């Protein structure tokens, strides 16, 4: 019960403010993102799962008997957990989970493994966000309630003077039509497995996606580790964006300057190292699923 309560409190500090803003019809350009871009709802994130091999008893067991991919523990599992012979328990049902999710499990293992095996690239400087507003009028900008820090002309100039080399399809697909041909690569859903690399902020944010897609096979603590890393990466990503977010509490990383590029790369390297650790944990958690 202690783990469950700790998890629920951990989720609440992120989810509760978002739900309050949503009820009030308010937006936050940074702190809403993980709840609006990704498909995992706050209520789903709040549900605590112990992960494979943990036998639950009492009310926790009763609750999970109505959840997908849980079953009554067998004699061997109860004995390994030190439960008395007649004490019931509930465990994650790996067989039912894998029977319906084999393709997703295999794809996740493949994308995580291939990404981990590639060298990290640190020369993109977050220009994907700039390419998403290139040559657009202010009323066409994706976040139309925000102003551009350098204005439309200044933003376009940064794009035109820069080398654009995004490797991540889910960033590239939001480029404006004018910006797409400027990218050195042409990421697609099909070549994603061949382009993902561990220096990419968005690939590292997506560790949260791969983690929640594997629930309840993973302990919720690991899912939240990925969530919190993605939260921090999103903040850094938007600081380096063309938007003026100073009044929101996010001072800019001025990637149009040498100092800003250096600051960006330093943080990118830090997040790449942390992501590598979580990527390894996710791959280890996938191993028992066959």
> Which bin fits 21, alpha (ψ -120 to 50), beta or left (φ > 0)?
alpha
CA–CA distance, 180 with 246 (Å, rounded to integer): 28
**Distance from the first to the final alpha carbon of the chain:** 29
pLDDT at position 85 is 62
Q: Write out pLDDT tens, residues 238-277.
A: 999 999 999 999 999 999 999 999 999 999 999 999 999 9
Mean local confidence (pLDDT), 114-142: 88
pLDDT at position 79 is 73
Mean of the per-residue pLDDT values of the chain: 93
Per cent of the chain over pLDDT 70 is: 96
CA–CA distance, 69 with 86 (Å, rounded to integer): 23
Q: Write out pLDDT tens, residues 62-91.
A: 888 889 999 998 877 777 777 776 668 899
Q: What secondary structure does DSSP assign to 97-120, as a single string?
A: HHHHHHHHHHHHHHHHHHHHHSPP
Token code pair at residue 115: 């990404």
Q: Write out pLDDT tens, residues 38-58.
A: 999 999 999 999 998 899 988
Mean local confidence (pLDDT), 149-169: 96
Delimit the domains of the chain by residue range: 101-289
Residues 207 and 279 sit within 8 Å (Cβ to Cβ): yes
pLDDT at position 145 is 79
Model confidence, pTM = 0.93
Q: Write out pLDDT tens, residues 12-27.
A: 999 999 999 999 999 9
pLDDT at position 138 is 54
């Amino acid at each position: 019960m202690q783990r469950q309560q700790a998890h629920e409190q951990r989720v609440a500090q992120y989810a509760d403010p978002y739900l309050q803003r949503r009820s009030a019809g308010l937006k936050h350009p940074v702190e809403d993102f993980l709840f609006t871009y990704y498909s995992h709802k706050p209520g789903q994130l709040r549900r605590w799962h112990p992960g494979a091999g943990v036998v639950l008893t009492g009310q926790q067991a009763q609750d999970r008997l109505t959840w997908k991919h849980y079953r009554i523990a067998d004699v061997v599992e109860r004995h390994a957990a030190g439960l008395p012979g007649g004490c019931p328990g509930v465990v994650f049902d790996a067989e039912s989970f894998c029977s319906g999710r084999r393709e997703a499990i295999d794809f996740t293992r493949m994308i995580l493994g291939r990404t981990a095996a590639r060298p990290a690239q640190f020369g993109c400087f977050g220009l994907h966000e700039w390419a998403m507003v290139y040559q657009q009028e202010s009323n066409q900008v994706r976040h139309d309630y925000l102003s551009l820090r350098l204005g439309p002309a200044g933003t376009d100039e940064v794009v035109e003077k820069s080398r654009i080399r995004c490797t991540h399809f889910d960033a590239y697909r939001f480029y404006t039509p004018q910006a797409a041909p400027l990218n050195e690569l042409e990421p697609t859903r099909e070549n994603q497995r061949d382009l993902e690399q561990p220096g990419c902020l968005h690939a590292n944010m997506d560790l949260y996606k791969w983690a929640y897609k594997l629930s309840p096979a993973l302990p919720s603590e690991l899912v939240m580790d990925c969530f919190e890393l993605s939260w921090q990466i999103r903040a850094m990503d938007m600081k380096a964006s063309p938007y003026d977010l100073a009044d929101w509490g996010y001072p800019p990383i001025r990637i149009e300057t040498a100092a800003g590029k250096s600051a960006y790369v330093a943080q990118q390297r830090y997040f790449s190292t942390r992501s590598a650790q979580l990527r390894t944990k996710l791959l280890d958690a996938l191993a028992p699923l066959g």
